[in-house]
Chain A
Amino acid sequence: DAKTTQPNSMESNEEEPVHLPCNHSTISGTDYIHWYRQLPSQGPEYVIHGLTSNVNNRMASLAIAEDRKSSTLILHRATLRDAAVYYCIAGTASKLTFGTGTRLQVTL
């Protein structure tokens, strides 16, 4: 799996967009980019994944750089319920190797 680099923490105001960056410069051509989040005292929750093209779902958007060495998870309107640790994982289709993620704080 490729090593990922994420900021330790980020802050956002409620109802504003949030852009969570992830660097994965050693990603291989067949590696997927997965995003999971973990709310306090809960198991991780799937957010989105992609391979080469940008992806959208009801929770978020994933923007993948053209060279695939970085990606950005976009939450379009942050709410207090989005406060969590967000994990970016670059690896095989099925094996998730979690780092320490980005802790997102959302304030009123």
Chain B
Amino acid sequence: EAGVAQSPRYKIIEKRQSVAFWCNPISGHATLYWYQQILGQGPKLLIQFQNNGVVDDSQLPKDRFSAERLKGVDSTLKIQPAKLEDSAVYLCASSLGWGTSVAYEQYFGPGTRLTVT
């Protein structure tokens, strides 16, 4: 079974530039997550999609970050304009479903390491 795919793996940009990350979840997984992991910290959830609808984007800095999941499959996360503090690894994860009474395993991709200079 193919895992979660992400690209690019590495990106270096200057502050105030824009950047986009792409994620292809495991086939058949309805739920997709984007996390931000700053060096030395655990991942922080940015946004959660169920199919192509947003379930939770409470921690997404909406003034500069945006995400979409067209057709309920692939997803892109965009930062515009980037700040120095956005330097982090951006992780995409997917799961079969989402619910309040059943816990689904989340499968993570390898991440995109972003450096903002």
- Which A residues fall within an 8 A CB radius of B? 30, 32, 34, 36, 41-46, 49, 51, 87, 92-101
Taking chain A's interface residues, is the majority helix, strand, or loop, or is none over half, making it mixed?
loop
Given A95-B56, A101-B42: A42 and B100 within 8 A (CB)? no
> How far, in Å, is A101 (CB) from chain B's closest CB?
6
Q: Tell me if B109 and A94 are in contact (CB < 8 A).
A: no
- Which B residues fall within an 8 A CB radius of A? 4, 31, 40-45, 48, 56, 91, 93, 95, 98-111
Q: Which of A30, A41, A46, A49 contacts B107 (CB 8 A)?
A: A46
Give the CA-CA distance A74 to B25 in the complex, in Å. 30
Q: Tell me if B98 and A45 are in contact (CB < 8 A).
A: no
17 other A-B residue contacts (CB within 8 Å) besides A94-B31, A97-B45, A98-B44 = A41-B110, A42-B108, A42-B111, A43-B111, A45-B108, A49-B103, A49-B105, A92-B100, A93-B100, A94-B99, A94-B100, A95-B56, A96-B45, A96-B106, A98-B41, A99-B42, A100-B42
A contact residues around B48 at 8 Å (CB):
94-95
Q: Tell me if A34 and B43 are in contact (CB < 8 A).
A: no
CB-CB nearest in chain A for B97: A94
CB-CB nearest in chain B for A92: B100
Q: Tell me if A46 and B45 are in contact (CB < 8 A).
A: no
Q: Tell me if B99 and A93 are in contact (CB < 8 A).
A: yes
Q: Tell me if B98 and A94 are in contact (CB < 8 A).
A: yes
Give the CA-CA distance A41 to B112 in the complex, in Å. 10
